[in-house]
């Protein structure tokens, strides 16, 4: 196992209990030491950001009650304190309009929720490893959408 200097702080905003449980379980199967926090909706997400240490990365579902993912993305991106936090849209939607809007509004990547546990683990491993460096990769249109599991 690689030597990591700190816990990687991950915040998941997702109202689907089953998806959130699978995500939390997958965190345990990634080699990176992750401290996972969870928000059930957009309002909880924004409150969490005000009340806690800034996460290293946010996984953001689009379809949530009270404040949807697009509204949260917009609010986070206009707040200078959180403007640089990587935001990965984590959605079941593969709709090109959702993808384009996410890109325009400042998401770093768009992940269509994997349909297998191993896909979630592969996704977490890939995304978190990308952000272990201080400089996040640019979100170019060519690589904006990630699909898992990755075929080897």
The answer to whether 105 and 71 have CB atoms below 8 angstroms apart is: no
As a whole number, mean pLDDT of residues 105-123 equals 91
The answer to whether 102 and 76 have CB atoms below 8 angstroms apart is: no
Using 50, 70 and 90 to split pLDDT, how confident is the model at 131? confident
**Backbone angles phi and psi of 39, in degrees to 5:** -125, 135
> In whole angstroms, what is the distance from residue 17 CA to residue 133 CA?
31
Flag whether pLDDT at 133 surpasses 60: yes
Give pLDDT, residue 65: 85
Give pLDDT, residue 83: 81
Identify which has the larger pLDDT, 4 or 88: 88
- Say if pTM beats, i.e. exceeds, 0.75: yes
pLDDT digits 0-9 by tens, 29-46: 998 899 999 999 999 999
Identify which has the larger pLDDT, 144 or 104: 104
């Amino acid at each position: 196992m690689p030597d990591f200097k700190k816990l990687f702080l991950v915040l998941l905003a997702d109202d689907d209990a089953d998806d959130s449980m699978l995500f939390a379980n997958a965190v345990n199967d990634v080699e990176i030491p992750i401290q996972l926090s969870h928000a059930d909706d957009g309002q909880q997400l924004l409150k969490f950001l005000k009340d806690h240490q800034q996460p290293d990365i946010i996984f953001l579902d689009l379809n949530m009650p009270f404040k949807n993912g697009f509204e949260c993305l917009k609010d986070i991106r206009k707040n200078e304190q959180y403007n640089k936090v990587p935001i990965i849209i984590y959605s079941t939607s593969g709709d090109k309009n959702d993808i384009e809007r996410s890109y325009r509004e400042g998401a770093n990547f768009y992940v269509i929720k994997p349909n297998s546990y191993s896909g979630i683990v592969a996704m977490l491993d890939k995304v978190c490893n990308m952000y272990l460096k201080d400089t996040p990769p640019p979100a170019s249109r060519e690589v904006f959408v990630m699909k898992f599991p990755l075929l080897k």
